[in-house]
Amino acid sequence: ANRGGVTTTGLDEMRTAVQAFPQAVTLALREVAARTAQRVLAGARQRLLAQTSGTGRTAAAITVLDESHKQQFIVQSGPAPGSGKAANLPGWLEFGTIKMSPRPFLGPALKTESSQYLREMEAAAVAAAREAIE
């Protein structure tokens, strides 16, 4: 008896692409997150400098921490080295105190970037998916 068969080509290549897909998406999303963190950093520094009249050390102390093991970037504001100011100053500026009105800089910078971040993340994921299956 003659048994019919189907021959496929490209199956091994497709299997390899599918297996690489999670890593490709992760790398694409990481790039978006890194760019966004840098924009948040710049926006926070700009806002803080515009709202204060000090030396600029507190703004300069805002940094981006790359926590690759947790797949995240953290924009953080810590004490300004050599400023002689309290370590809590960034928090006091952001949220205010009993004696000082808030001068938010980090929250607004995050909010400004959130829509663009979501758009870029979606576009990066779709592009990585298309590249992996083509």
Report pLDDT for 81.
Answer: 80
Taking the model in full, what pTM does it have?
A: 0.81
Which tens digit of pLDDT belongs to each residue from 24-77? 788 889 999 999 999 999 999 999 999 998 889 999 999 999 998 888 999 999
**CA triplet 78, 80, 81: central angle to 5 degrees?**
120
pLDDT at 78 exceeding the cut of 80: yes
Q: Provide Rg for the chain, Cα atoms.
A: 23
Report pLDDT for 98.
Answer: 96
Q: Which of 38, 28, 101, 45 is nearest to 64 (CA)?
A: 38
pLDDT at 5 exceeding the cut of 60: no
